[in-house]
Amino acid sequence: MTNYVVRRALWALVAVFCVNAVTYLIAFGIPPDPARMIAGQHATAATVAAVARALHLYLPIWQRFLLFLWGEVHGNLGYSYVYNRPVLSMIQQAVPVSASLAVCAIAAELLIGVPVGIIAAYRRGSGLDGALMVGSLVGISMPTYWLGVLLILVFGYLLGWFPITGYSAAGLVLPALAVGITGAAFYARLLRSTMLDVMSFDYVRTAHAKGLAERTVLIRHVVRNALIPFVTQMGIDFSGLVGGLIVTEVVFGIPGLGLLANQALGNLDPTVIVGETTYTATAVVVINLVVDIIYAVLDPRISYS
Amino acid sequence: MAGALGALALVAATALPGALAAARGHIRPAAPSGTFTVDFAADFPTLDPVYWEDAQSAIPMQAIYDNLVTYGLNGTNIVPQAATWTVSPNGLVYTFHLMKGLRFSNGDPVTAQDVVYSINRVSAGNAAGPKGAAPYGSSYNDIVGYNAWFNGGKAPPKGMTGMSGLTAPNASTVVFHLLQPQAYFLNELALESAAIVDPAVVQKYGVINYQLHAVGSGPYELSYWHQNKQMVLMPNPYYHRPNPAKIAKVVFNVNVPYSSQFLLFKQGKVDMIWLPDQGTYLSALNTPGMMADLYKQATNYIWYYALNVSKAPFNNLKVREAVNYAINRTAALRLINGLGSVMSQPLPPKMAGYEPGIKPYKYDPALAKKLLAQAGYPHGFTMTLDYTTSRPFVQAVSQNIQAQLAAVGIKVVLKNIAQSGAYFSYTADPKNPFEMAWVDWFQDYPDPQDFLFNLLDGQTIGSLNVAAWNDPAFNKLVEKADALPASQQAERTKLYDEAQAIEIAQAPWVPMFYPIQDSFVQPWVYPHNVNVFVHPVRSPIIQDMYIKH
């Protein structure tokens, strides 16, 4: 078991290192003159040279990467070229914001997706089932950007029920709804199909034969067993959300990791791009590592070699 | 009788103090009131003069800091802010006398030593801490002792406390000694990089954290800055000069997309949309009543394409002229919703030296084809056009030009460069095969030197002279004008105009537009004066604003 954990952890480290190296090469390789970018178009050549020296831009890129790694290990991810503040603090401020949006988004997906899936499975073949499945297909197909703007217009502006922009408790409702409507369909369809599977199993027939109420059969036996692949899907979903929802955050003005990434890419701010990609990669890798360990603990048969 | 006398006495008692006060020149200000809310699409890059280089940061910085001088409300003339000044006849010595009673918002008095500290701080080679030198630090490179102090971009030499030419003989006098006369020296002191900071506060927080606790002596103070969320300013309690703050609370929210700003403006929840994008401007055009809230004017800003004159095909004057004649600029103006006028020369209309008699290129595709044939390209040629999409309309204009040049036989391949900040280095890199590239240039200050020297002199090839144009006659005229003092403004203007004529004849650029900058402001924000909201040089002047519902 320990062997397994150590091996997984080491590979995790390798994965993060690779992401780090590739992102660094891309982010610092693309802008032809990072010093000029920072110093701005009005700076003299002497100023640009001074900036270049301070950022070690005269060194070959592999040496700069090593310097950067050294700083990373000590918690220093460098400074944003545009916003004049430490990259680490920008990320630290953005993480709780994105995390709260992620939680609300998943909650919205579940609140919409689960009832839809259960009802559709229970009423399989009926007009209601068809309507719900078509509806969820429409939901998946909607671009989040478009839906977000629509929600802002209707519920923020015309009805005034929610704030149009900004990060607050009320301000998370519309973005969560935008993600929820577009993402609920995955859960609805998954739950419907797994429920239909389970409903055909022997133990369900046994429960019916025992004379249990329909409702009890549904909830105690069918849904609980159908939820297992469901939870796996949630894990994947959360893992994907950990890097922030770029489009949603931009449309609604939520200052999370997605907005940070969008701005950094638009500004070609290499330190923020590298820092944030490294953070996201680390988070995903750590989550997967933890999940793998939990699986191994739950089922000792599991130990991928 | 008694009643009338009593009434008279009552009137006198209330009116007399005000009249006496007015007679003494001291208007007792009303207490600040109201809230002024502006949302921005992105966060402020900084509040520290050392890191400053953008227009958005200048908005709160001009409210919380003093500079020695600033620009007048009605134009581009320099007026005192924290000090009055005299200049020696040879233009080499500037002496500033600080106003009485200047205080930072934490109560500390402002002294001449603080001014000296501030200018030295931004000029040092390591001013920006981990990011090297200050972007605008070299603005002060004409002060005696600058080179030694800048020390090649490293920390100043041990024992040196500042530039030798910058002194404070007493607590209220600052003296600058210049290496040569510089007509635009006062303009450089009006830049945000020369804002007066409190040394105690800077030293307490260090260079990266200082901006979160920025302290100045301006009419407002920084109440708090929650980065990426909100910045709030409130009146500086220690500001006891004419024209204090009239608004009780200034709120800046950030990361609000323009589409949301537009909706919030219609709801009355934001008081100003600052420099909206074209999409928002179009939406406003179609909103009844909103055009009445529009304030716009042309500032010193030019949009053009630079032609790389160092290699074929644009090393040939006739080819450069041909491209200029082949473009219909008036038609292209529609692509920016008419928010601009056609550019005729490098200097913009409000700049000294601008010559109204110079007309822009007329649209003449037949002449363009003839010139191409004369140049040896009777069947046209293929070229690339580089542009940046940091401003979305640039793509539309570039595509329009692609179509127009195709009509005279020039096949244009469009190339989108990712980001605007790297633009100058990308296009000015001699190893870069660019041929025609989009450039936009906003003034640092309203002096022809900022345009003609910075963008066209041979010395700036490899940085700002994107066209790599090097004309010795032009260089000589511009450099001579640069070195004359402000007292010889007429002679300077004459020399700049002669230089400009050479540039126009040689056509290293395809001049496009003088853009018009615009903002929308709610009717309850006063005064209704375009120079307060879209000043030719300064940022929106919050100091002059007041709210009245």
Residues of A in Cβ contact (< 8 Å) with B441? 41
Reading the block at residue B390, the tokens are 């940091």
Length of chain B: 549
pLDDT at B1: 47
CB B421 to CB A40 under 8 A?
yes
d(C-alpha A87, C-alpha A72), whole Å: 11
d(C-alpha A195, C-alpha A122), whole Å: 8
CB B264 to CB A164 under 8 A?
yes
Chain A contacts in chain B segment 349-368 (CB below 8 A)? none
d(C-alpha A256, C-alpha A91), whole Å: 8
Amino acid making up residue B209 = N
ipTM above 0.85, yes or no: yes
d(C-alpha A66, C-alpha B224), whole Å: 37
Nearest to B481 by CA among B353, B358, B356: B353
Reading the block at residue B115, the tokens are 């001014």
Residues of B in Cβ contact (< 8 Å) with A251? 257
Chain B contacts in chain A segment 177-196 (CB below 8 A)? none
Listed in sequence order, the residues at least 6 apart from B303 whose beta carbon sits closer than 8 Å to its beta carbon are B340, B343, B438, B439, B440, B512, B513, B514, B515
**DSSP E strand boundaries for B406-527:** 411-417, 436-442, 509-521, 525-526
pLDDT at B265: 97
pLDDT at B424: 59
DSSP letter (8 states) at residue B178: B
Alpha helix stretches (DSSP H) within B286-412 = 317-325, 329-332, 365-374, 393-406
Cβ-in-10-Å burial (0-12, 13-18, 19+) of B283 comes to middle
The label of the residue with tokens 């003093």 reads B66
Listed in sequence order, the residues at least 6 apart from A299 whose beta carbon sits closer than 8 Å to its beta carbon are none
Residue B134 near chain A (CB below 8 Å): yes
> A111: distance to nearest CA of chain B, Å?
27
Three-state DSSP at A21 gives helix
Residues of A in Cβ contact (< 8 Å) with B43? 83
d(C-alpha B105, C-alpha B200), whole Å: 13
**pLDDT tens digits along B382-425:** 999 988 776 778 889 999 999 999 999 999 999 887 654 445 55
pLDDT band at B7 (very low <50, low <70, confident <90, very high): low
Of the candidates B136, B211, B424, the beta carbon closest to that of A36 is on B424
Q: Is the pLDDT of residue B21 over 50?
A: no
Mean pLDDT of B280-298: 94
The DSSP-derived string for B296-324 is EEE-SEEEEEEE-TTSTTTTSHHHHHHHH
d(C-alpha B51, C-alpha B45), whole Å: 8
Residues of B in Cβ contact (< 8 Å) with A167? 229
Chain B contacts in chain A segment 9-48 (CB below 8 A)? 30-48
**What DSSP element (H or E) covers B142?**
none
Three-state DSSP at B198 gives coil
> B433: distance to nearest CA of chain A, Å?
13
Q: Please, what is the average pLDDT of chain A?
A: 86
For residue B49, whether the previous peptide bond is cis, meaning omega lies within 30 degrees of 0, is no
Mean pLDDT of B279-306: 93
Q: Is the pLDDT of residue B25 over 70?
A: no
What's the sign of the alpha-carbon dihedral B114, B115, B118, B123? negative
d(C-alpha B469, C-alpha B458), whole Å: 6
Q: Is the pLDDT of residue B5 over 60?
A: no
C-alpha dist (Å) from residue B212 to B45, B46, B133, B230, B238 = 11, 9, 20, 12, 20
Closest chain A CA to residue B430: A32
End-to-end CA gap in chain A: 11
CB A46 to CB B211 under 8 A?
no
pLDDT at B22: 45
d(C-alpha B45, C-alpha B55), whole Å: 10
Mean pLDDT of B145-156: 95
**pLDDT tens digits along A143-192:** 988 999 999 999 999 999 999 998 999 999 999 999 998 888 888 888 88
Nearest to B69 by CA among B61, B78, B77: B78
Please tell me which residue, B9 or A35, carries the higher pLDDT value: A35
Reading the block at residue A292, the tokens are 């793998």
Residue B464 near chain A (CB below 8 Å): yes
Amino acid making up residue B468 = A
Residue A95 near chain B (CB below 8 Å): no
Are B51 and B134 in contact, with CB atoms under 8 Å apart?
Answer: yes
pLDDT band at A87 (very low <50, low <70, confident <90, very high): very high
Residue A82 near chain B (CB below 8 Å): yes
> B16: distance to nearest CA of chain A, Å?
50
> A286: distance to nearest CA of chain B, Å?
27
C-alpha neighbours within 13 Å on the C-beta side of residue A177: 17
Rounded to two decimals, the pTM is 0.89
Residues of B in Cβ contact (< 8 Å) with A156? 263
Residue B508 CA, distance from chain mean position: 24
> B89: distance to nearest CA of chain A, Å?
29
Reading the block at residue A142, the tokens are 């909607």
d(C-alpha B237, C-alpha B244), whole Å: 10
Q: Is the pLDDT of residue A112 over 70?
A: yes
The label of the residue with tokens 């007509």 reads B183
Say how many C-beta atoms besides its own lie within 10 A of residue B223's C-beta.
15
CB B264 to CB A251 under 8 A?
no
Of the candidates B132, B229, B424, the beta carbon closest to that of A41 is on B424
Closest chain B CA to residue A256: B228
Listed in sequence order, the residues at least 6 apart from A187 whose beta carbon sits closer than 8 Å to its beta carbon are A109, A110, A113, A114, A117, A230, A233
Please tell me which residue, B115 or A226, carries the higher pLDDT value: B115
End-to-end CA gap in chain B: 41
Of the candidates A42, A44, A149, the beta carbon closest to that of B53 is on A42
d(C-alpha A146, C-alpha A17), whole Å: 37
d(C-alpha A7, C-alpha B55), whole Å: 52
Q: Is the pLDDT of residue B430 over 90?
A: no
The label of the residue with tokens 């900004």 reads A166
Q: Is the pLDDT of residue A75 over 90?
A: no
d(C-alpha A255, C-alpha A243), whole Å: 13
pLDDT at A299: 67
Chain B contacts in chain A segment 255-284 (CB below 8 A)? 255, 259, 263, 266-268
d(C-alpha B68, C-alpha B83), whole Å: 5
Chain A contacts in chain B segment 44-103 (CB below 8 A)? 45-46, 48, 51, 53-54
For residue B515, whether the previous peptide bond is cis, meaning omega lies within 30 degrees of 0, is no
Of the candidates B136, B211, B260, the beta carbon closest to that of A42 is on B136
CB B256 to CB A166 under 8 A?
yes
Residue B426 near chain A (CB below 8 Å): yes
> A262: distance to nearest CA of chain B, Å?
11
Give the CA-trace dihedral at B253, B254, B255, B261, to 10 degrees.
Answer: 50
d(C-alpha B51, C-alpha A82), whole Å: 9
What's the sign of the alpha-carbon dihedral B266, B270, B274, B279? negative
Listed in sequence order, the residues at least 6 apart from B469 whose beta carbon sits closer than 8 Å to its beta carbon are B309, B456, B458, B461, B503, B506, B508
Mean pLDDT of B167-174: 97
CB A41 to CB B208 under 8 A?
no
Nearest to B509 by CA among B479, B445, B459, B465: B465
To test the contact with chain B by mutation, choose from A36, A47, A87 the residue with the greatest count of B C-beta atoms within 10 A, namely A47
Of the candidates A31, A84, A86, the beta carbon closest to that of B51 is on A84
C-alpha dist (Å) from residue B64 to B67, B196, B233 = 10, 10, 8
CB B253 to CB A33 under 8 A?
no
CB B255 to CB A259 under 8 A?
yes
Strand ranges across the sheet with B93-98: B83-87, B93-98, B173-177, B166-170
Closest chain B CA to residue A257: B228
Listed in sequence order, the residues at least 6 apart from B515 whose beta carbon sits closer than 8 Å to its beta carbon are B298, B301, B303, B336, B339, B340, B440
Please tell me which residue, A204 or B103, carries the higher pLDDT value: B103
- Does domain A92-298 match CATH 3.40.1260.10? no
Of the candidates A39, A86, A250, the beta carbon closest to that of B208 is on A86
Q: Please, what is the average pLDDT of chain B?
A: 91
Reading the block at residue A39, the tokens are 């110093």
**pLDDT tens digits along B206-254:** 998 999 999 999 999 999 999 999 999 999 999 999 999 999 999 999 9
Three-state DSSP at B411 gives strand
Domains of chain A by residue range: 2-88, 92-298
Are B494 and B355 in contact, with CB atoms under 8 Å apart?
Answer: no
Say how many C-beta atoms besides its own lie within 10 A of residue B331's C-beta.
11
